[in-house]
Amino acid sequence: MPLSEHEQRLLEQIERALVDDDPKFASSVRTGDRRLKARRKLQLGALLVLVGLAVLVGGAVAPSVPLGVLGFLVMFGGTALGVLNYRSATGVVEAGPAGARGGSTARGRGGKPRRQPLKNRLEERFRRRYDQ
């Protein structure tokens, strides 16, 4: 739904006031979606892994240790770049430990009960057997 002319004018005034008050913050907000930058870095990391693999294989074919080491380092750098940007590129949220918020009675998204870690389940079974 498009904004009315009055709303557009108000929005422009707010933007101008923001730029006047804090230009550094305004420029960082204007830069766009952070996921886009992280996706580009993730793609660059994948490309570096492929290039590093090619250089590594080239170093193995032409028996050159420095070329093989260079290929490995490029692959390692690409992997590190990909791993460091994976979460922000995909929006994945890591779940905390299941027992951290109340054990087996805690419920996750959608109302489904979360499973306890294997260690806790095995300890509970052992206690029940021992008590009987």
What is the distance between the alpha carbons of residues 63 and 45, in angstroms, rounded to a whole number? 26
pLDDT one-digit tens code per residue, 32-42: 666 778 888 88
Angle of CA points 28, 24, 27, to nearest 5°: 35
Residue-level pLDDT at 93: 54
pLDDT one-digit tens code per residue, 7-63: 888 888 888 888 888 877 777 766 666 677 888 888 999 999 999 999 999 999 998
72 pLDDT band, cuts 50/70/90, is: very high
102 pLDDT band, cuts 50/70/90, is: very low
**42 Cβ contact list (under 8 Å, min separation 6):** 81, 82, 85, 86, 89
What is the distance between the alpha carbons of residues 123 and 3, in angstroms, rounded to a whole number? 60
